[in-house]
Chains A and B, each alone.
Chain A
C-alpha cells in the first residue's frame, strides 16, 4: 500500500465529508455534527469542542483511509464505485452500530433510558440518528459514500 498516497487522499476525502455534513447542518437538513460529538468527548465548551472535534475527526478520517487502502489492495482495485460501495457499508455501520453504542462510550451523552435525573448533556442519536433530524440518515450515508468514492477515485492500486 502506498501510505503517503492513501493518507493524502484520506485528508482530501475527510475535508469533503466534513464540509458536506457541516453544509447540511447549516441548511437545516440535520443537527448531526460528528466533529461536535467527537469534540465534546474532551470538553464541555461548545466553541472548543468544535476545534478538538475537527482535529479528531480528521485523524479518524486518515485512520479510516488506511483501512480503505488496505481493502483496496486486498480487492486489487480502487475505483470510485468500489470506494462508494465501501462508503455505503461504512455509513450504514456508523448509523446503526455506531449510533447504538455511542451513548455508552461518550462521557457527555445520555441514553434513551436516562432520567429522571436532570441533565445538561448531549441527546442520544437514536436509531439511524433520527433524533438529530429526519434527514440525518441520508446526509450521513451520502457523506460516507462521498468519502469512499473520493478515496477510490484518488488512490491507485
Chain B
C-alpha cells in the first residue's frame, strides 16, 4: 500500500459549491464536481495509486510550512529546500454576484500560483485527473490555445499554464519540472465545465486580479465576524470552514466534503458525509447567528424548512444539498480506501433510519432564530405545527438515535429529550404569538416525556442518565441535556451524568461517544464534538477555569491550519474520520460562545437586531 498522508495533513479550499483537499506537499488529492456530492476528479485521498492528483512540490527534499492568508480560504504552502524556497498559493476564485455579471467566469476553477522566494528550486508539476471516482479513463490532449484539454461526454477539464506540461502515459497524465528562481511567478489555472460551452480559465493579469479579488472577498466576509473574545483566530477559521461547507445556491451546509475517511484505520467505519444532517441544525444556526452571519443562518434555516418538504410532516435525518431524500448507498470496490480502509461508500443508508431527535433540532433552530429577533411566516408556522403533531404521535417509538448505529432501534433517552425540546419550543413559539399550535396537547405530551425520562432514563446505581430507557449504559449525547433546558447543568443528576461520562468515556480529555456494541466491527476515535460538549457542560456546571483549560487543550488537537476532523485518537492525537468536519467546528464555536458568556463577555446578538423573515 502506498504512503498516505495523515488526515490532518490536509487543508481545504473551495467556492461554496465544491471543495478540494490539499495535502502538505501541495497535492490536490480530493475534489468532487460539479458539487460536493458529485463524483470525484482527483481521488488520491482514497487511492494513492489510481486515484489521480494535481501536485506541485520540489523534486528534492524539503520542509513545509502552511498557512491560510489571514481571514481567507486562500492556502499558502511554503517549501524550503537546501537550494531555496518556493511558495504555492491555492484557491478557488470567488467574487460577488455583481462582479460575475461583468466578467465571464468559469463554472468551477482552481488557481495555483508558484512564487520563487529564495534561491532556485526545481519543482515537479504532476497533473493526473481521473473522472468518476477514478473509474472513467481520460485522455489529455493539447488544446489549440495552449491549454491541456480532457473531455468526457458533457464534461470538459481545461488547464492553462505558464509552464509547458508534457503529456505522458498515453494522455493519462501531464508533467513538468520547471526551475523556479527568486522573484518568479508562475500560474496554473484549471477549470471544470459540465453541460455548457467551457470558459477558458483565467491567465496572466486576469488570474492575478482573481487572486486579489478572492482574498478581498474572503477578508470582507471574515471581517463580518462579530466575535471579540479570546480565541478569535480559531473561531474565524472555524467560521470560514463552515462557510466553505455551505452550498451557496441552496443554503444547505454539508457535514464534510469527503467520503469514507475512516473512523478506525483499516476498518469498515467509512461513511459518506457529503450531505446535510438536520441534527446539526440548531447548533449550526446558533453558531452562525451569534458570530454575526445572519444571512447564512437564515439561508440555512430556510433550506432546512423548505427543502425537507418531500418527506414532511416526517423528517429524514439527512438530505442532499437540494433536499433530495433518496440517497442510496453503494460501495466503490475499485478503490483501496484511505490506508486500506474499505469499503469506500457513496450515498448514505442512514437516510433511511428513524431518528426522533431531528424534530427537536429543527424546532430549536427556529426558536433560536426567533429569540434573536427573526420572524416566521404562517406557512412556516403551519409546517412546524405539523412537525409537533408528528412528535406527539411518534415520541414513544424506538429509534436509531443520534449515533446512527446499524444495530437496530432502541428507546434512546437523548431522542426522547429532543422530542421534549421540540414540544417545549413550539409551546414557546405559540405563547409568543409566532404560530398557533394545539398547546394543551403539546404540554401534556411534553410533561409525559419528562416523567418517562426521569423515571426510566435515570439509573440510580450509575448515578447518571442512561443512553436508553432502562439500559444501564451511558453515551456522550447525554451531555446535551444540560444545554437544551431539560436538565439543570448544576443539578445533581447532570453532575452525576458528567461524572459517569468522565469515568467511562473520557480519555486524555477526549470523549468517546459510546462503548457499547453498535453492530460494526472495530473501534473508533474520540468524537470531536462530544469533547467540546463535555467542556461546555463542565463550564455550565460552574467549573469555568477547568473548562477553559480543557478547551485550550482541545484546541491543540487542531491541525497546522486550524482544522478538525470528526474524531481524534486520544492515544496519538491523530485525526480520524471525514475532514474537515462541520459539526466539530460548530462544537468549537458554541463552546467558545458559552465560555465567553460565562466570562461576562456575551457574544449573542441582541434580539431585535435582526429583521429577517423565513
Contacts and interface: CB of A to CB of B under 8 A. Distances in A.
B311 A28 contact: yes
Nearest to A123: B250
A119 interface: yes
A47 B382 CA distance: 11
A116 B309 contact: no
Contacts of A75: none
Contacts of A29: 310
Contacts of B24: none
A131 B322 contact: yes
B307 A115 contact: no
A124 B221 CA distance: 24
B142 interface: no
Contacts of A25: 309
B322 to A, nearest CB: 4
Given A47-B377, A47-B379, A133-B324, A117 B311 contact: no
B107 A113 contact: yes
A113 B17 CA distance: 8
Contacts of B34: 112
Interface string B229-257: 00000000000000100111111000000
B249 A114 contact: yes
B248 A46 contact: no
Counting chain B CB atoms within 10 Å of each CB, the highest count among A29, A117, A118, A119 belongs to A118
A114 B309 contact: no
Interface stretch (B46-54, B92-100, B163-171, B266-274): B92-100
A134 B324 contact: yes
B597 interface: no
Contacts of B377: 45-47
Interface string B162-199: 00000000000000000000000000000000010000
A119 B380 contact: no
Interface string B283-316: 0000000000101101100110011011110000
B249 A123 contact: yes
Nearest to A125: B322
B311 A115 contact: no
Interface string B29-72: 00000100000000000000000000000000000000000000
Contact of A126 (B96, B303, B322, B380): B322
A29 B325 CA distance: 11
Contacts of B16: 115-116
Interface in A1-58: 25, 28-31, 45-47
B204 interface: no
Contacts of B544: none
B405 to A, nearest CB: 27
A118 B299 contact: yes
B94 A115 contact: yes
A123 B307 contact: yes
B32 to A, nearest CB: 15
B306 A124 contact: no
Nearest to B96: A117
Given A47-B378, A123-B307, A110 B94 contact: no
A31 B310 contact: yes
Nearest to A118: B295
B424 interface: no
Contact of A46 (B246, B251, B296, B379): B379
A28 B322 CA distance: 14
Given A47-B378, A133-B324, A115 B15 contact: yes
Given A119-B248, A134-B324, A113 B105 contact: yes
Contacts of B306: 31
Contacts of A111: 249
A56 to B, nearest CB: 18
B310 A133 contact: yes
B396 interface: no
Nearest to B311: A28
A117 B324 contact: no
A98 to B, nearest CB: 17
Contacts of B324: 131, 133-134
Contacts of A28: 309-312
Contact of B249 (A110, A120, A127): A110
B326 A134 contact: yes
B248 A116 contact: yes
Interface in A83-134: 110-120, 123-124, 126-127, 131-134
A39 to B, nearest CB: 12
A125 to B, nearest CB: 9
B323 A117 contact: no
A31 B377 CA distance: 18
B248 A115 contact: yes
Nearest to A29: B310
Nearest to B252: A123
Interface in B69-110: 94, 96-97, 100, 105, 107
Contacts of B326: 134
A28 B315 CA distance: 12
A42 B94 CA distance: 30
B451 to A, nearest CB: 34
Give the most central of B96, B221, B251: most A CB within 10 Å.
Answer: B251
Interface in B91-146: 94, 96-97, 100, 105, 107
A28 B307 CA distance: 11
Choose among A28, A45, A47, A119 the residue with the greatest number of B CB atoms under 10 Å from its CB.
A119
Nearest to B14: A116
A134 B15 CA distance: 26
Given A45-B377, A46-B379, A114-B248, A120 B295 contact: yes
Given A46-B378, A115-B249, 6 more contacts: A28-B311, A31-B309, A118-B299, A120-B614, A131-B324, A134-B326
3 pairs of A and B residues whose beta carbons are closest in the complex: A115-B248, A116-B16, A118-B295
Interface of A: 25, 28-31, 45-47, 110-120, 123-124, 126-127, 131-134
28 contacts: A28-B311, A28-B312, A31-B306, A31-B310, A31-B323, A47-B377, A47-B379, A110-B249, A113-B105, A113-B249, A115-B17, A116-B221, A116-B246, A118-B293, A118-B295, A119-B248, A119-B299, A120-B295, A120-B298, A120-B614, A123-B249, A123-B303, A123-B307, A124-B249, A126-B322, A127-B195, A131-B323, A133-B310
